Amino acid sequence: MAEISFDDFLKVDIRVGRITEAEPFPEARKPAFKLRVDFGPELGVKRSSAQITAHYAPEALIGRQVMAVVNFPPRRIGKFLSEVLVLGVTDSAGDIVLIGPDLNVPQGARLH
C-alpha cells in the first residue's frame, strides 16, 4: 500500500450530498444507475454514474445522503458525463455498499 502525506489527503475534496434523482443506466457496460446529487448552494447538483444496483433500487435512493469526491475531473461514460465519484465499499460478494453519514448533516459538508 502506497503511503501519502496528510497534505495529499487534503487535496481530495469529499463532501456530503443528497440523492435527488436515480434512474437505471442501461447503456453502461456494468449494471449502474444515473444519479443526481445535491451538494447544497456552494456546489449545486452534480451527476454521477454508480454501480450500486445489487443492494439498491432507484426509488429507495431518493433522499439518501452519500459521500462523494467532488474534485475529480468529469468522466464520460457513453453519452453520460459523470461529475462526481459517489463512495462505497465492497461487501463479501464484491457488490458496492454506499458510504454516508449516520446522522443528517448539511449538504456540501466536507469530510475532515
Does the pLDDT at position 40 exceed 90? yes
What is the spatial distance between Cα 61 and Cα 85, in angstroms, rounded to a whole number?
16
CATH value at residue 26: 2.40.50.140
Q: Count the domains in the chain.
A: 1
Single out the residue of 99, 105, 94, 90 nearest to residue 69, CA to CA.
Answer: 99
In a domain, 56, yes or no: yes
Mean pLDDT calculated for residue range 51-79: 96
pLDDT of residue 78: 86
C-alpha grid cell for residue 17?
450530498
**Nearest-angstrom CA–CA distance, 11 and 20:** 27
pTM for this structure? 0.94
Cell of 21: 434523482
Find the domain containing 76 and state its range.
13-98
**Domain-embedded: residue 85:** yes
Q: Does a structural domain hold residue 6?
A: no
Q: What is the mean pLDDT of residues 22-40?
A: 95
Q: Residue 78: inside a domain, yes or no?
A: yes
Domain assignment present for 23:
yes
Render pLDDT for 68-101 as a digit per residue (tens, 0 to 9): 999 999 999 988 999 999 999 999 999 999 999 9
Domain membership of residue 103 (yes or no) is no
Residue 110 in domain: no
Residue 37 included in any domain = yes
